[in-house]
Amino acid sequence: MPRRARLRIADMPLHIIQRGNNRGACFFADADRLVYLQHLRELAAHLACCVHAYVLMSNHVHLLLSSREPDGTSNLMKHLGQRYVQYVNRSYKRSGSLWEGRFRSSIVQAENYLLRCHRYIELNPVRAGMVKYPADYRWSSFAANAMGKPDRLVTPHPVYLALASDDTVRQSTYLEMFRGVLGADEMEQIRHAGNAGYALGDERFRKEITLALGRRAGPGKPGRPPKNGNRGKPGTDHGFCVLKLPHLEQ
C-alpha cells in the first residue's frame, strides 16, 4: 500500500511527532537534548521555519512549527534526523536506526486549535508523570511561552501574540490556560489527527482541505474522494502533496 501523502502548506502550523524506534529511547542524557535543540535551532533559521512549541521526551519529540516554504518542514526534519543520528551513533558507538520510520504530522487550524496543540505538547511531561507542573520540566517551550524565559528556538505565532499586546499580560493569559486539564475528547482528537495524518481543525477546515486535496483530511467513511478538478497528486518528494491555499493561511 502506498504511503499516505502529507499535506504541506506554507505558513500553516504543523504538529509533528517523531518517536524512537520500537518506542525506544532517543535521548540518553541532557547533553543529547542540548545537541538536538542546537541543530533544530540552526536548521529552523536556515530553512525559514518557526518553532512555536516543543517538548523533548525520553523516547519521542513533539514539535509545533510552520514554514514560509511548503517543503521547509520536511527538509528540516530530514536534516535534523540525519544530524542527530550521526551524533548519537558517534557518541554511543552504536549503529542502526534510531527513529521509528518517518515522522507523523497533522496540519493545524490556527485560529481554533493552535493553542490547544500548545497545551497538549507542553503538558506531555505532566501526563507522563515525570513532573507535577509543566514549569518543572526543562525540555519544553513552556517556560518561554508562559513565563517569558528567553529561548532562541521559540518564535511566537500570531495567534499566541493576539492573546494580549503586553508581554506580561500575554504570558499570564497563557498560563491561565494550564490551570485546567485537557479534556479526553480534545486529547484523542489531537492524537488521532497526528497519528493518522489528518487535519486538526473543525469541520469547515477539514472540508476545505478535502476539497483542495481531493482526499479525506479527517476521519470518515472510506470511498472515492470528491471530484473537484484540483486533486493533489503525490510527487516524488517523499510522498508529499504541495498545495497553495491562500484562503486557508493564517
For 211-223, what is each residue's pLDDT tens digit?
A: 876 767 777 654 4
Residue 62 has pLDDT above 70, yes or no: yes
All cell numbers assigned to 174? 497563557
CB count in 10 Å sphere of residue 245:
16
Residue 160: the pLDDT is: 98
More confident residue, 9 or 166: 166
Residue 122: the pLDDT is: 98
For 81-117, what is each residue's pLDDT tens digit?
A: 999 999 999 999 999 889 998 899 999 999 999 999 9
Mean pLDDT over each residue of the chain, to the nearest integer: 86
All cell numbers assigned to 157? 505565532
Comparing C-alpha atoms, which of 116, 107, 112 is closest to residue 9?
Answer: 107
Is there a contact between 204 and 2 (Cβ–Cβ < 8 Å)?
no
Q: Walk me through the domains of the chain, giving residue ranges and CATH numbers.
A: 6-248 (3.30.70.1290)
Q: What percent of the chain has pLDDT over 90?
A: 69
More confident residue, 4 or 77: 77
Is there a contact between 60 and 24 (Cβ–Cβ < 8 Å)?
no
**What are the residues whose beta carbons fall under 8 Å from the beta carbon of 182, sequence distance 6 or more?**
116, 119, 120, 123
Residue 96: the pLDDT is: 86
More confident residue, 107 or 3: 107
- 237 to 40, 64, 204: CA distances (angstroms): 21, 22, 28
Residue 227: the pLDDT is: 53
Band (8; pLDDT cuts 50, 70, 90) = low
- Name the helix (H) or strand (E) containing 107: strand 104-107
For 126-172, what is each residue's pLDDT tens digit?
A: 999 999 999 999 999 999 999 999 999 999 999 999 999 999 999 99
How buried is 1 (Cβ within 10 angstroms: 0-12 exposed, 13-18 middle, 19+ buried)? Answer: exposed
CB count in 10 Å sphere of residue 8:
22
All cell numbers assigned to 179? 490551570
Residue 12: the pLDDT is: 87
CB-side neighbour CA atoms (13 Å) of 145: 35
Residue 5: the pLDDT is: 55
| Residue-wise DSSP of 115-142 | HHHHHHHHTHHHHTTS-SSGGG-SSBSH
The maximal CA–CA distance of the chain, rounded, in angstroms, is: 53
